[in-house]
Amino acid sequence: MWLASRRLSTPGWLIKAWLSGDRSTRLCTARPTWQTMSFRQGLYKKTFTNIEVNLVDVLEVDKNNMRQSVANMVTNGPAGPARWKPLGLVPVAPSWTTESVSAWSMGTGVETCRTSTDCSSTSSTDENPDLFYAVPWSYGTLGFLASAVMKVIPAKKYVRLEYHPYTSLPELSKRFQEESLKQNPHQFVEALLYNKDQGVVMLGDMVDEIGSDGKYNPIGKWYSEWFFKQVEKHLNARQSIVEYIPLRDYYHRHTKSLFWELQDIISFGNNVIFRYLFGWLMPPEVSLLKLTQPEAVGRLYDRAHVIQDMLVPIQTLERAIQLFHDKFRVYPIWLCPFKVPNNPGQLRVSGDWQMFVDIGVYGVPKAPGFETVSFINTTSSSPSYHP
């Protein structure tokens, strides 16, 4: 068992001050909206009582029970593979280095490990079970999360990654479903679609040695081509290949290019000259982009930009892709299996669990006639925008 040198310090006095007042306002964290991962600029913090919640420590790593206890603002940087290398462990966590434990547990942690992020709050099925089951997907509406307990799994040095290109959506969908639903699946399952009919299914497993069946590819180097562009080359080659990728590089494979958002922000960012000279600067923090973007750019994002993850039953994948093609026409599209347990706080599913697929649509829609429509709250005397 490994313990952190510092302990939680709670913002209790701030809560007590609010309790002793008239309690006329709602509470929220004092974290500025420009610091969040979302491109949305929330307005509610201007009228809510802001509470400083800056709990940033990894509190405990329990190797016997394969779990870690972490404070709410710990991100996938300190909670990720780099920290656990000496311990031989790695968390099942999303790829973004700046996503926090609060985002994984009160949002929806989605990753290529075929399961939802296994993360529980300080309540449990025995203690405050109603709160325990309500925390996932609550998005901070129930209260402040102080800490959470997350599973960790044994770590190895590399990920052996298979790339399987397809030029037929039915064939790609069939393979993706088969791999996601296997009784003994690969540790990592993911797919990228580059148009409605073409994409690459990727299957990965952690290993300690580089085999003779593939090449070593350190995709985390500053000069490396954006990962989704490398995958596209495998699609164009029309043949399955194997690569060995350092574990930390694999976990953060989509970070450097912000998935593929950076190609719309810095169009020359993948140019070989730019990568060798300035690739070490990438990626720009989303928070920095939000803080420095002109108002006109913000309006452009509102009007002509989509950042949306949609969960659908995996059996409906083909129909969903066709719908998103007709309505959005944004590519690449990210496909990630998402195993949903029959959890009273999330979804009621048949049996003990049901496999969904997360369809990630990020970019500028090119579908004919696409138009973003703002929703106005007509029940309020002062209209407000609800994204």
Residues 6+ apart with CB under 8 A from 244: 158, 159, 160, 161, 207, 210, 211, 214, 215, 216, 217
* Together in a domain, 248 and 387: yes
* One domain for residues 175 and 306: yes
**Average pLDDT value over all residues in the chain:** 80
Same domain, 9 and 78: yes
pLDDT one-digit tens code per residue, 60-80: 888 888 888 887 777 766 555
Is residue 301 pLDDT above 80, yes or no?
no
Residue 171 or residue 7, greater confidence: 171
DSSP for 364-385, written as a single string: ---STT----PEE-TTSSS--E
Distance CA 161, CA 10 (A): 42
What sign does the dihedral 18-21-27-28 (CA atoms) show? negative
Q: How many domains does the chain have?
A: 2
High-pLDDT (> 90) share of the chain, %: 34
The whole-angstrom separation of Cα 109 and Cα 103 is: 7
Report in angstroms the alpha-carbon separations of 118 from 1, 104, 147, 269, 282: 20, 9, 14, 35, 30
Same domain, yes or no: 304 and 257:
yes
CA quadruple 37, 41, 44, 50: dihedral sign = positive
Are 110 and 252 part of one and the same domain?
no
pTM over 0.85: no
Given 121, 154, 187, the domain boundary residue is 154
- Regarding whether 282 and 378 lie in a shared domain, the answer is yes
Question: Last residue of a domain, which of 154, 187, 217?
Answer: 154
pLDDT band at 102 (very low <50, low <70, confident <90, very high): confident
Q: What is the pLDDT of residue 193?
A: 98
Residues 103 and 146 grouped into a single domain: yes
The parent domain of residue 228 ranges over 156-387
Is the pLDDT assigned to residue 235 strictly greater than 60?
yes
Q: Are residues 164 and 262 in the same domain?
A: yes
Query: Which is more confidently placed, 368 or 124?
Result: 368
Residue 15 has pLDDT above 60, yes or no: yes
Same domain, 126 and 67: yes
| Domain CATH number, residue 71 | 3.30.465.10
How many CB atoms within 10 Å of residue 21? 10
Q: What is the CATH number of the domain that holds 208?
A: 3.40.462
Q: Do residue 251 and residue 332 come from a single domain?
A: yes
- Tens digit of each residue's pLDDT (9 = 90 or more) over 148-182: 888 888 889 999 999 999 999 999 999 999 999 99
Angle, helix 169-181 to helix 317-327, in steps of 10 degrees = 130
Query: What is the SS3 assignment for 244?
Result: strand
Shared-domain flag, residues 160 and 130: no
Task: Give the count of beta carbons closer than 10 Å to the beta carbon of residue 384.
Answer: 11
Judge whether residue 280 has pLDDT over 50: yes
Please count the residues of the chain.
387
Domain finish residue from 129, 154, 179: 154
Same domain, 376 and 302: yes
What would the pLDDT profile of 215-227 be if each residue is shown by its tens digit? Answer: 999 999 999 999 9
